[in-house]
Structure 1
Amino acid sequence: MTLMNAPEYDPRRQQWIERFLIGGGVLIAALVLLTLAGFITGHGWLFTNIPIEHRVNKFFTAIENKDFNTAYGIYENDPDWQQHPDKHKEYPVARFTEDWTKYSPVGPILSHHVDKSVSDGTGTFGTTLLVATTINGDKEKRLFLAVQRSDGTFTYPAPHVFAY
């Protein structure tokens, strides 16, 4: 094909190309904004830490309501733990209940707010998620729980803490 017999200009095709390019640019810009917004607000790239933060929120809500069986199931990531308590001999529910009542490092937990989470460990999203929670509205009473990404279990105290 030479310049003299070039195809006729098709305005519909040109509109389609323009819309495709503009839509792609908007999509990429939105993805970049969501990625950065999640990171800046402390909820992980693209808000990937939100599901784990919700589990931590449910855990502390159960502690506040003194529903230690539910809280223990969330802590061990085993909601049916009562059907096989022998599996959890190393850290039984009685010890768990003492740790979160009598020996609680922040006293009785009456209210909480999950503030922020940070990935820890190796890999793109880390092997562990550290979740910071303010207890009873007191900024001096912050608890850091570590949540293992591999099996969903909690660890307290967390191996690291972070400032925010």
Structure 2
Amino acid sequence: MKYKKISYSILEDIEKKNIEKHKINIKILYLQREKYIQQLKLLINYRSEYVNRLKNKINSGIYIYEWNNYNDFIFILYLLIENNQLIIKKNKKQVKESLKKWSQNQIKLKTWDYLNNKYKKHLINKKLLREQLTLDEFCIAKDISKRNL
């Protein structure tokens, strides 16, 4: 019987550790997401700024090599923005998966906690029953010894 008690509490501790790992993972993912969102905003601002500069330069006259440089840089910004958006989507998916795993671990933790508490109550009842039997045996033995006298 002690083995069950130990196994339930061990399983409960394992689930607690898994829950903590998932909490930390979720926090890290949220921080990364915030970082990538800030980076995305910055890239979009750069892109709009360089597009406006290019428009102004085109209106006032621009050399071909300058136009190529602006065009290349704006194209790179577009690629970086798309890449950043993909990373944010991937991060969002990972957060959903981590939240799902976290909730599953919460359910498991509650299950092990319930079983552990149920087993503890069973042990207490068993101990009380043993004490009661011992007390009853003592009373019966005392009663028999009184009768023999």
TM > 0.5 = no
Q: Looking at secondary structure, tell me which structure has more strand per residue.
A: 1
Higher relative contact order at CA 8 Å, sep ≥6: structure 1 or structure 2? 2
Higher CA-based Rg: 2
What's the TM-score, normalizing by structure 2? 0.28
